[in-house]
Structure 1
Amino acid sequence: MAVKGFDKFQFGCRLNEVLFASEPIRSIEHLFGRHRELDGIEKALFASGRHIFIHGDRGVGKSSLAATAANQYQSPDADYIDIGCAPDTTLKNIVANIAYKSIDASRLRKTKISSSVSLELRHLKAALASETTLNNLHEEIGTLTDAVEVLREAAALHSTQPVAVLDEFDRIADSNERAAFADLLKHMGDKKVPLKLIFTGVGKTLEELIGAHQSAIRQLEGIELSKLSWDARWDIVYTAVEAVGLTIDKEIAIRIAAICDGYPYYAHFITEKMLWCAFDDAKPVTEIERDHFLAGLSVAIDRISAQLKKPYEEATKRRGEEYEEVLWATADSEYLDRYAKAMFTSYEYVMRQRRNGSPLTYEIFCSRIRKLREEGYGAILVSDPDHPGLYTYREKMLRGYVRMQAEAHGIELAGEKIDQSLKQTMRVPSSLTRGYYVSKPPPGIHWERERRKFDDADDE
């Protein structure tokens, strides 16, 4: 027991209270960097008939924001309803699921439905009185009008102020099913159904997720979720470290903030593994040291989701270190879209740290970059057809894993000089062309390294 005051069970339980790599955050005290979005959702939900759609890149914390917002809005007489979407999910499935969970909540609270209210229950009256199944409720929904009426009755049974989260809405394969929700929301507003819906989905715009349906504009408020600000990233680290009675050097906290690329999952996961490495230390620990950080990073890389590891392995397997060095260069920037010549300056920086091997020429480097668009090389990058030489990650969250690999090999991306007078910084709007928010980095942390200036117009 290297950490004073904890045995293994106590230590694990304490970490589970402050780190959330495997499940959504549901409490506002652990949702760092999202207070502006939470406030916007709360204000929007005051409007009658208004619902929320949280969208953005995979891994930015949409489910956590939705769960926390739902907990904030839901009245205390029941838990909010949580519905996960799948490729074969339909509108009927979701409505039936909401009804089923509302009936269960009503039974659990031993709610007595008065005769006057019971007479108003056309679809769910029988289900309330006896055991029923999802299939039974599914059969009750023949039309959109039926769906709206079932939701009205479900809301009355569930709680005083009910809310349902429809998580990963983008997974619904049938675009017609997704588009049908626009009509549903409009009719729910017209009939004053008191149930609030919070959707989450991967996408840049609501049109991608629900279709360009004008009737849903008044009913939906879109919240586009950006990556975490720098101060939110290291707040995750500091909070967890302090929760187990330890301290951590500021530089290590900033390295984790830089590696995680603004994705909360990485910050939670790396910190969890780092703290377990400190717990397993043979000597007593009062402060997280660099060895704990590097050991935790190594464990995180080994245990991370296969979905994130596979493209990296496909790009680098049996190809030596050359492709790894090229990959690291692609992630040496806060900007999602980068020209090949800008990435080449990062590659030159990487190779100066390697101290072995001969750097690729610019022409060969560009050929390797082009290879990274192919399936046999992980299909990691995609190019912009309107801007020759401009690339972005196909799966944005993969950039964080690439940064983890670079750090484990001794390559510090996104700046290596730390200003010891570091202060927390504010989030500021990014360029409108990039369409998301970024945060100012700490002093000494660079968005990207351009050791030589290039004319992008001449790129490739």
Structure 2
Amino acid sequence: MVDLSYDEIENLRDLARKLFLPSAPVTTAELLYGRSAQLRQSRTALAIPGRTIFVHGERGVGKTSLAKTVAYEFHHSASEPPYVGCDPDDDFNALAARILRRCLGQLPGIASKEKRVREMGLQLGAIKLLQRLETESASLPDVKLTPDETVEILSALHRINKNPFVVIVDEVDILKNPSIREQIAFFIKALGDHECTMKFIFCRHRARHRFIAVRT
């Protein structure tokens, strides 16, 4: 039996807490085991302009861990990649507003700099929307956003940010609104049409997929 000092025991406990994460998503490749093929495929997709990543699989197989690991590698180190969880009752307006709000969190105070935002090509209505998203914590049920408008705003924000940027949209499968999936498809098409350099990873549950499948 090895006698350890109090400090040595605490150091071991700290190390165990960092390495043993039974319920929290993993965010580094060193801790993500058995996903080498999916990691390579995802890294390749992020390097290709216009590609969006879809991660499918059963619940608990590590979809979010894979998405976060890839996102942390690609995303600039100054902040965490924006993570957006879906709500069953979301329509596209609610989801788009949440995505924009998370992305604004990467650029604190930018919406108040109206001149700089206007230089990025945004109209007054879009600027006012960004200011509301930045200053109001409540949901904005009156906000109406099309996929094209959402991508235009995201593109402008990324031109200001200029750093590698990845957004994770999780649990897409729980969305109940029948029209939102079609609008998400239009949104993904608009990302390519507008040559938006911001990257998106969508995660969804798929029954009978015991292993993770990556689609790009």
The verdict on a shared fold, with TM-score over 0.5 as the criterion, is yes
Alignment of 1:185-334 (within 5 A): 185-203=188-206, 226=211
Q: Name the CA distance, whole Å, in 1 between partners of 2:46 and 2:126.
A: 26
- Counterpart of 1:118? 118
Q: Could you tell me which residue of structure 1 aligns to residue 33 of structure 2?
A: 32
For CA contacts below 8 A with separation 6 or more, give which structure has more relative contact order.
2
Deviation at 1:142, TM superposition (A): 3.5
The 5-angstrom pairing of residues 23-422 of structure 1 reads: 23-107=24-108, 115=115, 117-119=117-119, 120-122=121-123, 123-126=125-128, 127-128=130-131, 131-133=135-137, 135-136=139-140, 139-158=142-161, 160-203=163-206, 226=211
Q: What residue in structure 2 maps to residue 384 of structure 1? A: none
> Deviations for 1:20-77, whole angstroms, at most 9, x for unmatched residues?
1121000111111112211110111222111000101111111100000110111224
Deviation at 1:157?
4.6
Query: Structure 1 pair 45/11, CA: closer, same or farther in 2 (3 Å)?
Result: same
Distance (whole Å) between structure 2 residues aligned to residue 82 and residue 62 of structure 1: 13
Assess, with a 3 A threshold, how the Cα gap between structure 1 residues 141 and 159 changes in structure 2: closer, same or farther: farther
CA distance 1:142–1:83, shift in 2 (3 Å): closer
| Separation (CA, whole Å) in 2 of partners of 1:225 and 1:124 | 42
Shift of 1:133: 3.8
CA displacement 1:405-425 (0-9 Å, x = unmatched): xxxxxxxxxxxxxxxxxxxxx
- What is the alpha-carbon distance in structure 1 between the residues aligned to residue 80 and residue 95 of structure 2? 17
CA pair 226-125 structure 1, distance change in 2 beyond 3 A: same
For the 8 Å contact 2:92–2:145, the answer to whether it is kept is no
**Percent identity between the two aligned chains:** 24
Provide the C-alpha distance between the structure 2 equivalents of 1:111 and 1:74, rounded to a whole number of angstroms.
21
The higher radius of gyration belongs to: 1
- When the two chains are superposed, the root-mean-square deviation of aligned CA atoms in Å is 3.2
SS of alignment partner, residue 78 of structure 1: coil
Q: Secondary structure at the match of 1:166?
A: strand
C-alpha contact (below 8 Å) 2:117/2:127 kept by paired residues: no
Matched AA of 2:18: E
* Structure 1 residue 204: Cα displacement: 5.5
SS at match of 1:79: coil
Q: CA deviation at 1:147?
A: 2.3
Partner amino acid, structure 2, of 1:4: L
State the TM-score, normalizing by the size of structure 1.
Answer: 0.40
SS in 1 for 2:201: strand
Query: Given the superposition, is the C-alpha separation of residues 11 and 86 from structure 1 closer, same or farther in structure 2, using an over 3 Å criterion?
Result: farther
TM-score for the superposition, normalised by structure 2: 0.80
Q: Distance in 1 between matches of 2:149 and 2:179?
A: 18
Q: Aligned AA for 1:169?
A: V
AA aligned opposite 1:20: L
- 1:105 is paired with a residue of what secondary structure? coil
Change (3 A) 1:28 1:191: same
Distance (Å, rounded) in 1 between the aligned partners of 2:117 and 2:152:
14
Count of residues paired in the alignment:
208
Stretches of structure 1 that go unaligned for 5 or more consecutive residues are: 206-223, 228-434, 436-460
What is the CA–CA distance in structure 2 between the aligned matches of 1:174 and 1:3, rounded to whole Å? 60
Separation of aligned partners in 1, 2:191 and 2:31? 33
CA distance in 1 between counterparts of 2:198 and 2:80 reads 13
Counterpart of 1:54 in 2: which secondary structure? strand
SS in structure 2 at match of 1:145: helix
Look up the SS of the partner of 1:71 in the other structure.
Answer: helix
In structure 2, do the counterparts of structure 1 residues 60 and 107 end up closer, same or farther at CA, with 3 Å as the change threshold? same
Cα distance, 1:145 vs structure 2: 2.6
Letter of the structure 2 residue corresponding to residue 197 of structure 1: F
1:114 Cα shift?
8.9
| Kept in 2: contact 1:98–1:154 (CA 8 A) | no
